[in-house]
Amino acid sequence: MVSMTTQTGPDVRPARPTLGDMAFASLRDLVAAGGVAVLTGAGISTGSGIPDYRGPNGSLRRHTPMTYQQFTGDAESRRRYWARSHVGWRHVALARPNPGHHAVAALEGAGLVDGVITQNVDGLHSAAGSRRVIDLHGSLARVRCRGCGVLSDRADLDRRLRLRNPGFGNHGFDSRAVAGSPLGAEVNPDGDATLAEAEIDGFAVVGCADCDGDLEPDVVFFGATVPPARLAAAVDLLTQSRALLVLGSSLAVMSGYRFVLRAGELGIPVGIVNQGPTRGDARAAFTLDAQLSTVLPRLATELAGAAAR
């Protein structure tokens, strides 16, 4: 009689979860409970071809944004801004929402996200279908007259500037470029393109179509403050929410960091997903270093899909 023995291989133990796995689980748990206010920065729009300020290839490494004091205090600075912005805005206008924007909209549609506070001026959250969006820093799609206060459409200003400056603004850019192309070396998150002084010589600005007053973009410049009513609306959203989720912001400036501080005062948990460290990491329940255009669709698939069934 031959005895048979059963041999077993080495113990197969489940892999230990990585820090990334645990952080994603924390992200999933935070959002799954609902009542989430989302705060976004430039990092969520990099997948749409718009660079961020302080990420690995951030534009602040090569570009100093114009301050409100410069813009309002010097006509030549305004002319320089409008020349560069005339080129840069076209590329921001061509940008389309990426999977990260669509995921945030899906989570709102599933009733898990209460609304979005964005520091971006590109309008991509609204374009993706998010319904409750507070554009904290305004929108590049609008222009305001400094004289009469009338708001007008940026596309109309673009048309008038093209007529006044025929042939200006090509500068090697392809106006047909698809969203998501690498624009980081040329166009900045504020829609200000990097152009040499010689390239903007002779550029002529136009005034308000109603009163010929000086125009300014309907955005909050560096060095300026968020309009009180807009800030109050953002604080109300946070106050009514159960949690705060920060996406793609280093929180280096107070306009965004204030919401992390306020969440702490309210006892609201904070989660942060960003590429690289942020000013708010020490105050967060968890942090996750990841590309938003990858991690957010996964989150929406797991949660928004489940909520829809």
Within-domain flag for 7: no
Number of domains in the chain: 1
Within-domain flag for 1: no
206 in a labelled binding site: no
pLDDT of residue 308: 42
Within-domain flag for 172: yes
| Lowest pLDDT segment from 132-146, 193-207, 218-232, 270-284 | 193-207
Within-domain flag for 151: yes
Q: How far apart are CA 259 and CA 272, in angstroms?
A: 12
Collapse the DSSP code of 184 into the 3-class scheme (helix H, G, I; strand E, B; otherwise coil) and give the result: coil
Within-domain flag for 44: yes
208 in a labelled binding site: yes
Structure confidence by residue, pLDDT tens digits, 209-239:
999 999 999 999 887 899 999 999 999 999 9
Active site residue 63: no
pLDDT of residue 224: 87
Output the pTM of the full model.
0.85
148 in a labelled binding site: yes
Within-domain flag for 127: yes
Within-domain flag for 207: yes
Q: Are 154 and 143 in contact (CB under 8 A)?
A: yes
Q: Which of 91, 101, 102, 137 is catalytic?
A: 137
213 in a labelled binding site: no
98 in a labelled binding site: no
253 in a labelled binding site: no
Q: Give 138-142 contacts, CB < 8 A, sequence gap 24+.
A: 138/217, 138/218, 138/219, 138/220, 139/218, 139/219, 140/89, 140/92, 140/93, 140/190, 140/191, 140/217, 140/218, 140/219, 141/93, 142/217, 142/218
pLDDT of residue 7: 42
Domain range for 44: 19-308
Q: How far apart are CA 186 and CA 184, in angstroms?
A: 6
Q: What is the DSSP string of 127-140?
A: HHT-SSEEETTEEE
- Which CATH number covers residue 89? 3.40.50.1220
